[in-house]
Amino acid sequence: MTNTYKYPRPAITVDCVVFGYDGNELNILLIKRGIEPFVDCWALPGGFVRHDETIDEAAKRELLEETFVKNIYLEQLYTFGDLYRDPRERVISVSYFALVRQEEFQIKASTDANEVAWFKVQNTPALAFDHENILEMALKRLKNKVRYEPIGFELLPPKFPFSALEQLYESIIGKPLDRRNFRNKFQKMGLLTKLSEKQEKVAHKRGFLYQFDSDKYEQLKKDGFEFAI
């Protein structure tokens, strides 16, 4: 049976913005393209949506195929549909973003990607297509997100000093915090459990370790809050 359509159908792609944290800086996962257009240029992982899959499935598949990153939560970011964003044909892209601990993944390039690497968000190379615009949109979303939703559970180790949480937020918002004010506000939310354990192998005075209360964390993610930084 041949289907006929009244209107022309643009192609649909997915692009994935995966933010990683290495304990010091916020990074972005990029692939070096192995095919035209933009061969040998760095880009966000992604590709065309197949007829037999949803866009969510396509995003997970492309991310796995090109970077070997899997089993992460991808949040839909925005739909990009400028007329000439892809030189091949009319292409609409649905973008996603995710937050991960870099240490948990052994990245490996495959399929259309010749290389895969983490780059500092503040020092990324020129990107293919309109991927710089997509990355900019994702960064804005993340910076806004810290004001209404808790951040850290996905990026920090299970146990961490409070200074690591401060450093993470500074990395995201791109400027120094009023650390005393930040500590007071954050502790009032009841998200953290102070442990009896202290840091090890540090040159300075050992600080206590903390961990997130996972139940309260998930509840605050669901309910939202106002957190002025």
The pLDDT value given to residue 23: 87
What kind and span of H or E run contains 142?
Answer: helix 131-145
Contacts of 158 (CB under 8 A, 6+ apart): 211
The token pair at 110 is 């495959």
* 7 pLDDT higher than 90: no
17: amino acid identity, one letter: V
Whole-angstrom Cα distance, residue 212 to residue 190? Answer: 9
| Interval 121-142 mean pLDDT | 96
Tokens of 206: 């050992």
Give how far the C-alpha of residue 142 lies from the chain's centroid of Cα atoms, to the nearest Å: 8
Specify whether the backbone of 189 is left (phi greater than 0), alpha (psi in -120 to 50) or beta: alpha
Asked if pLDDT for residue 129 goes beyond 70, the answer is: yes
User: 135 and 174 in contact (C-beta within 8 Å)?
Assistant: no
Q: Lowest mean pLDDT: which of 4-8, 16-20, 56-60?
A: 4-8
pLDDT at 50 (0 to 100): 97
Q: Residue 223 pLDDT more than 70?
A: yes
Residue 10: CA count within 13 A, CB half-sphere = 17
Of the candidates 160, 203, 167, the one whose C-alpha atom is nearest the C-alpha of residue 26 is: 167
Residue 203: pLDDT band by 50, 70, 90 thresholds?
low
Whether 4 shows a pLDDT value over 70: the answer reads: no
* Lowest mean pLDDT segment, chosen from 39-43, 96-100, 188-192, 223-227: 223-227
How far apart CA 149 and CA 73 sit, in angstroms, is 15
What global pTM score does this model have?
Answer: 0.90
Q: What are the beta bridge partners of residue 18?
A: 98
What pLDDT does residue 76 have? 97
User: Are 61 and 30 in contact, with CB atoms under 8 Å apart?
Assistant: no
What's the confidence (pLDDT) of residue 1? 45
Asked if 198 contacts 187 with a C-beta cutoff of 8 angstroms, the reply is no
pLDDT digits (tens, 9 = 90+) for 54-89: 999 999 999 999 999 999 999 999 999 999 999 999
- CA-to-CA distance for 210 and 192, rounded, in angstroms? 6
Domains and CATH numbers, the chain: 11-129 (3.90.79.10), 160-223 (1.10.10.10)
Cα–Cα dist 48/86, whole Å:
12
Confidence of residue 113 (pLDDT cuts 50, 70, 90): very high
Whether residue 25 contacts residue 123, with contact meaning beta carbons closer than 8 Å, is answered with: no
Whether 115 is catalytic is yes
Which residue among 115, 136, 197, 218 is the active-site one?
115
